[in-house]
Structure 1
Amino acid sequence: MVVRQETRPDTGAAGSPSEFRSAVASMQAARLRPEVLCEELPAPQRIAPYAAAVSADVTVDDTDLGTGRLILLHDPAGNDAWDGTFRCVAYARADIETDLITDPMLADVGWTWLTDALAGHGASYSAISGTVTRVATESFGGMADEDGTAQIEIRASWTPVAVGDGPLDVGPHVEAWGELLCTAVGLPPVPDGVAVMPSRRGQRGTTR
């Protein structure tokens, strides 16, 4: 995975802190399911001094079923709202069956997909927050013959926490985000003991 890094104009990529470069390297080492096409994404430059970002589409039989992005922010000075110097910001959107849109438990279930994925991949975190949104679309007039659609959108942010005395490993957080995307589109989980093959990376003309 090639992850685009962004820094403030007066720092330059070569001047980014070693802990940020190490965290980005761990993002690149993450292993995602083959249904997940992951590529670099221009990172925001005004939220934090340093940032790296990726986007992904979940594709099955040449059909895109879901999409998302993950941004890693770093502020060496720390951020009280983050409770740390790093922050993961994630987004996931997936098509769902229209009859699920009225399920009162859908939002709770969607949030559980994220927290279960983080726990399942051993991604330690703190200060998590976010929203789960249900979107239903109905067509009228000249488009009345088109079927209605429904989507679920999950937006979340959390502070990744290093395990032990080692450097921050963002790989488990990226893998949890990838699992969230796959769960949201309805893909069955990978059975225990089955190795996850690397996903296709950067196949849509990304800029390096």
Structure 2
Amino acid sequence: MAEIFTFPIGRSSQTAGASRAASIEDDRRMTVPSNVLRSVESVRAMRQRAGVIYREIPVPLTLSDYGIGVQIDVNNGSTVHSGGWIMVLYSEQPRTEWRSRWRCVAYGSVRISGSEHNGLTPPMMWDWLERTITGINEETLGGTVSLNRNTSFGSLSDPAGDPPRFDCELRVSWTPLEEKEGWVDAGTQVDVWARFLESLTTNDELEEPISDRE
């Protein structure tokens, strides 16, 4: 049975309604590995970014033995909107495909207008992701990027004749670097994904051709 830890209070699903201090003590009394508890507390202690909204989400029990799920929405006043989620997963038995007991799974989406599109392509987005993400085993990073053009018709069309909008979606997973005691700085992993989603709303570098950014 996986334990789902809420964010940012840190209560497990078995201690809903308890105070923050009491929930931490309850977590310690549960049969949760110490490296998982330490990883959870790194999320509790992480700095939250201004203009970013964080919310705990459940982790499917089939994915891992323990998990931390955080939804992230960027609301910094930009006309470009981005959001997504990240799950930090832990398996009591090492997974060959993860090369670890730990794995991060993340989803991100950015919506931009046609006038802001400027030749955005999946390779350009992936290149930007690789430049932004840190604290990982780089050989384990993999995922997909989808770019969809959305044009409204009929009653949903804009009478002002605005250009079509584009949705760029990323589905990514990677293995985070472990500390010596076998825990991971899950708070940093959450922040890395928040930073990436935040960067998509100010995509000055994404507007440049990849060859010009070296």
Tell me which interval the TM-score lies in, with the shorter structure as reference length: 0.7 to 0.9
AA paired with 1:124? I
Count of residues in correspondence between the two structures: 181
Please give the TM-score of this superposition, normalised by the length of structure 1.
Answer: 0.75
Alpha-carbon shift at residue 5 of structure 1 (Å): 5.1
Higher helix share: 2
Alpha-carbon shift at residue 47 of structure 1 (Å): 1.0
Q: Is the aligned partner of 1:124 residue 2:136?
A: yes
Q: Which runs of 5+ in 2 are unaligned?
A: 1-7, 15-25, 206-214
Q: Distance in 2 between matches of 1:83 and 1:2?
A: 30
Quick check: 1:27–1:171 contact (8 Å CA) kept in 2?
A: yes
Alpha-carbon RMSD across the aligned residues, in angstroms, is 2.9
Quick check: 2:59–2:87 contact (8 Å CA) kept in 1?
A: yes
The 5 A counterparts of 1:12-161 are 14-61=30-77, 65-99=81-115, 103=119, 106-119=121-134, 123-126=135-138, 127-145=140-158, 147=162, 148-161=164-177
Q: Distance in 2 between matches of 1:17 and 1:35?
A: 34
Judged with a 3 Å threshold, the aligned counterparts in structure 2 of structure 1 residues 82 and 4 are, in CA distance, closer, same or farther, namely farther
Q: Which residue of 2 aligns with 1:2?
A: 9
Q: Which runs of 5+ in 1 are unaligned?
A: 190-208
AA paired with 1:31? R
Quick check: 1:128–1:157 contact (8 Å CA) kept in 2?
A: yes
Alpha-carbon shift at residue 95 of structure 1 (Å): 1.3
Structure 1, 108-117 or 153-162: larger mean CA deviation: 108-117
Aligned identity (percent) is 27
- Partner secondary structure for residue 37 of structure 1: strand
The 5 A counterparts of 1:189-200 are none
Q: Spell out, residue by residue over 1:48-79, the C-alpha distance to the aligned partner (whole angstroms, 9 max, x if none).
A: 11111010110024988211101011101111
